[in-house]
Amino acid sequence: MEPDLFTAAAEARQEKDPSSSPLAVRMRPRTLDEVVGQQHLLKPGSPLRRLVGEGAGGPAGPSSVILWGPPGTGKTTLAYVVSKATDKRFVELSAITAGVKEVRAVIDGARRATGGFGKETVLFLDEIHRFSKAQQDSLLPAVENRWITLIAATTENPYFSVISPLLSRSLLLTLEPLTDDDLRALLRRALSSERGLKDAVTLPEDSENHLLRIAGGDARRALTALEAAAGAALDKGEPDITLQTLEETVDRAAVTYDRDGDQHYDVASALIKSIRGSDVDAALHYLARMIDAGEDPRFIARRLMISASEDIGLADPNALPIAVAAAQAVAMIGFPEAALTLSHATIALALAPKSNAATTAIGAAMEDVRKGHAGPVPMHLRDGHYKGAAKLGHAQGYVYPHDLPEGIAEQQYAPEELKDRAYYEPTRHGAEARYADAVEWTRKHLGRKRS
């Protein structure tokens, strides 16, 4: 680290009075062996082990890494451990406040430290997804020439938020949400540790289980809630953090959902796949997560309209009108009442019979068109309304179906190359069984052969 005078003073104060820092900060691991969870990243010889100086060294130096994972899974913690354990020069920047100027200053300092003192530099860049392409570009020469070893942290999918050249020069390490067992161990350590609550209160099993639910795999959230509840219990003079005290202190669990990140797409995808799978309860769960996180109700309604055609189609001809009506209602009323309309439509779509025949039909037709299987429009189907069309043979021989008793004429409609091509393959699910019978009957009366 290279702290200024104010940072050094703040750290000195925290050393003297640990309670001046949040519990989550006080309980940060000081070595990799103290890290809870992420054991798949901490095996001997792993990039993180090499960053703290473990391993044989030699010509294969430590690699730059990008840490990707949900909030509270340990990205900043791992960087903190590296800063404490390594003998390298450690610099920390946040993409929220830093820009190209600050990055270049770090790189210049790193080159001087390497050339003058043989000291390597580790740069921890938090929230790298907030850097623009140009800002990320400024890191490339330093990473490529190993003037710095980069540890970058992001909560967003790096394949979308980090430029490809930087990804190719770094190792991508994916952090997983912490398990309940991981968080349980962390909470119990915080309760008893000298750096933590020093056994000032206890956490009964029912309160512990509720705290785990609130945390949702986020260590920072778990420790923040524990600290708040412990403070409330001590103020009341209670030796235990009761479930009532915990519920009073922490109103509800904050749902992990980022409207601007990949969670936005992951939860929306789960909603549609649950509808497709006819699991109405799972669909309502994901709908609730989107609503609770403040998702745009018009976005949800658009996804439902797509699902109505993509996954239900003619198996339930009412599915699309229901979804369209929901979208119109949502646009007029907004939240909170729009939640009722979205629930109405989601339940209807989830429980409707399913067919993707409309989806596969247009897909197959589009594929033929893209491959050049088109051919001229048959002469009898061409426009015959303009002067001279008859001389060209346009519309000659066309049979008007309404003039026939059965309302269908045995004539060729598709181009010659595709005259027997069948795109629509209806299922026998729900109302589509009726369409399956109609398709079979009409193709027969059109004189069509199956291809």
The predicted-structure confidence for 247-297, as pLDDT tens digits, reads as follows 888 865 555 555 555 566 788 889 999 999 888 888 999 999 888 877 888
Per-residue pLDDT band for 326 (boundaries 50, 70, 90) equals: very high
**pTM of the entire predicted model:** 0.58
Distance in angstroms (rounded) separating the CA atoms of residues 176 and 67:
11
Residue 12: the pLDDT is 52
Tokens of 123: 């740069």
Per-residue pLDDT band for 312 (boundaries 50, 70, 90) equals: very high
Q: Which residue has the tokens 């691991």?
A: 29
Q: What's the whole-number mean pLDDT along residues 192-219?
A: 87
Q: What is the CA radius of gyration of the chain?
A: 32
Residue 240 pairs with which residues in a beta bridge? 202
What are 364-391's pLDDT values in tens digits? Answer: 888 888 877 877 777 777 777 776 767 7
Asked whether residue 7 carries a pLDDT value surpassing 50, the answer given is: no
Residue 310: the pLDDT is 93
Sheet arrangement for strand 89-94: 89-94, 121-126, 148-154, 65-68, 171-174
Per-residue pLDDT band for 57 (boundaries 50, 70, 90) equals: low
Residue 91 pairs with which residues in a beta bridge? 123
Per-residue pLDDT band for 325 (boundaries 50, 70, 90) equals: very high
Residue type, 210: H
Residue 5: the pLDDT is 39
Per-residue pLDDT band for 4 (boundaries 50, 70, 90) equals: very low
Residue 187: the pLDDT is 93
Residue 247: the pLDDT is 83
What are 129-179's pLDDT values in tens digits? Answer: 989 888 899 889 888 888 888 889 998 888 888 999 999 888 898 888 888
Residue 16: the pLDDT is 57
Asked whether residue 36 carries a pLDDT value surpassing 90, the answer given is: no
Distance in angstroms (rounded) separating the CA atoms of residues 307 and 62:
47
Asked whether residue 18 carries a pLDDT value surpassing 80, the answer given is: no
| Sequence-separated (6 or more) residues with CB below 8 Å from residue 381 | 395, 398, 413
| Sequence-separated (6 or more) residues with CB below 8 Å from residue 94 | 125, 126, 127
Q: ∠ at Cα 94 (38, 70), nearest 5°?
A: 30
CB-count burial class (<10 Å; 0-12, 13-18, 19+) for 87? exposed
Residue 341: the pLDDT is 92
Length, in residues, of the chain: 451
| Average pLDDT over all residues of the chain | 82
Q: What's the whole-number mean pLDDT along residues 10-28?
A: 68
CB-count burial class (<10 Å; 0-12, 13-18, 19+) for 157? middle
Residue 80: the pLDDT is 81
Residue 241: the pLDDT is 92
